[in-house]
């Protein structure tokens, strides 16, 4: 009897634990990070993205890793991400094309209402995947690839045709102000109109179909920093079927670098966490943190995750 009672208590304890746990996870959004190839230090940045997202208590994160560059075709047959099981997919991937079956699953996932967040060089791959390029709008491409979008000093969006003007590039890394172009958008709401981002690459001349682009933030690409003299798109979103794709070009961490400053920026963290929440739910619950960067001051969180 004593034994039985002991087991009953254990079982009841386990049931209570499980139900508490599932109640908590029901409130959390599931994220699938895709990585495995990148000319940036994905072995550092994926764990960082994972830990800061999970640290918000709003997300659970799984990671799926592709075969390494040059792997045999057989290795790719095991790469079969179950996108449909997640509230959103975050791409930290810049590498070889995925098998067509994976591309098709991804297209179906987004068209069916899935959310996608693309960080920094994750907009570089897949120049020959037409649907991907519609989703990201602008990618790291040569000038002849497609249109370019920039904002002039009057705040007007200017479209440049393929071949005209610069293709993708960036000058030396430097700190720069990020200018919010849609302050009513849930991801940007409550941020200063302009705030300082620490040393990072400032992408310019991104190219693509650039259809249905909703520009959320830009940064001025100064000729003094070998830039274009235009306000270049930094953050934007594009609807795709019933889904939405959110791109943030901030967040350079070099291939061999363990300097995570560009991602430790409180502005970057806020944009990515809010972006993840918004692509999955259409809403944002995170407040703008008290230590958010100001027009004069960067803000970097270097503490343990």
Contact 95, 36 (CB under 8 A): yes
Region of 81 (left: φ > 0; alpha: ψ -120 to 50; beta: rest) is beta
**CB nearer to Zn ion: pick between 201 and 232:** 201
**200 contributes a contact to Zn ion by CB under 5 A:** no
Q: In whole angstroms, how close is the CB of 40 to Zn ion at the nearest point?
A: 5
Interaction mask 44-63, Zn ion, x per CB under 5 A: --------------------
Alpha-helical segments (H) within the chain: 2-27, 42-55, 73-77, 100-111, 130-136, 261-264, 266-281
**CB nearer to Zn ion: pick between 219 and 284:** 219
Q: In whole angstroms, how close is the CB of 173 to Zn ion at the nearest point?
A: 9
Q: In whole angstroms, how close is the CB of 234 to Zn ion at the nearest point?
A: 13
Within 13 A of 152's CA, how many CA atoms are on the CB side?
A: 6
Q: In whole angstroms, how close is the CB of 47 to Zn ion at the nearest point?
A: 18
**CB nearer to Zn ion: pick between 107 and 201:** 201
Q: In whole angstroms, how close is the CB of 85 to Zn ion at the nearest point?
A: 30
Residue that is written with structure tokens 């830990």 in the block? 51
Distance (Å, whole) CA 220 – CA 230: 6
User: Cα torsion for 273, 100, 214, 216, to the nearest 10°?
Assistant: 30
Q: In whole angstroms, how close is the CB of 136 to Zn ion at the nearest point?
A: 16
Within 13 A of 64's CA, how many CA atoms are on the CB side?
A: 17
Give the three-state DSSP class for 195.
strand
**201 contributes a contact to Zn ion by CB under 5 A:** yes
Interaction mask 217-256, Zn ion, x per CB under 5 A: -----------------------------------x----
**CB nearer to Zn ion: pick between 107 and 200:** 200
Ranked by CB distance to Zn ion, the top (closest) residue is 252
**CB nearer to Zn ion: pick between 35 and 201:** 201
Region of 210 (left: φ > 0; alpha: ψ -120 to 50; beta: rest) is left
Partner residues linked to 28 by β-bridges: none
What angle, rounded to 10 degrees, do the helices at 42-55 and 266-281 form? 70
**CB nearer to Zn ion: pick between 185 and 252:** 252
Question: Cα 245 to chain center, whole Å?
Answer: 9
Name the one range near Zn ion by CB under 5 A: 30-38, 130-138, 193-201, 234-242. 193-201
Binding footprint of Zn ion on the chain (CB under 5 A): 201, 252
């Amino acid at each position: 009897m004593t034994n039985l009672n002991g087991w009953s208590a254990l079982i009841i304890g386990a049931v209570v634990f499980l139900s508490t746990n599932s109640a908590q996870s029901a409130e959390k959004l599931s994220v699938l990070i895709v990585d495995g190839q990148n000319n940036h230090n994905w072995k550092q940045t994926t764990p960082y993205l994972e830990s800061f997202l999970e640290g918000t208590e709003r997300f659970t994160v799984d990671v799926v890793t592709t075969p390494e560059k040059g792997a045999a075709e057989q290795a790719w047959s095991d790469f079969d991400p179950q996108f449909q099981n997640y509230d959103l997919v975050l791409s930290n991937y810049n590498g070889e094309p995925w098998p067509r079956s994976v591309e098709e699953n991804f297209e179906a996932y987004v068209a069916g209402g899935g959310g996608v967040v693309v960080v920094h060089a994750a907009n570089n791959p897949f120049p020959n995947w037409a649907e991907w390029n519609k989703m990201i709008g602008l990618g790291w491409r040569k000038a002849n690839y497609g249109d370019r979008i920039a904002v002039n000093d009057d705040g007007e969006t200017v479209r440049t045709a393929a071949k005209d003007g610069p293709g993708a590039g960036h000058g030396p890394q430097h700190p720069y102000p990020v200018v919010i172009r849609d302050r009513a958008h849930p991801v940007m709401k409550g941020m200063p109109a302009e705030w300082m981002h620490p040393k990072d690459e400032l992408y310019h001349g991104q190219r693509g179909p650039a259809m249905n682009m909703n520009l959320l933030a830009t940064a001025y690409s100064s000729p003094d920093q070998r830039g274009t003299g235009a306000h270049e798109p930094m953050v934007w979103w594009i609807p795709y079927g019933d889904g939405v794709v959110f791109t943030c070009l901030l967040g350079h961490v070099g291939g061999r670098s363990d300097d995570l400053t560009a991602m430790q920026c409180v502005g970057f963290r806020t944009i990515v966490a809010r972006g993840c929440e918004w692509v999955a739910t259409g809403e944002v619950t995170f407040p703008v943190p008290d230590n958010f960067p100001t027009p004069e001051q960067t803000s970097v969180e270097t503490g343990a995750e």
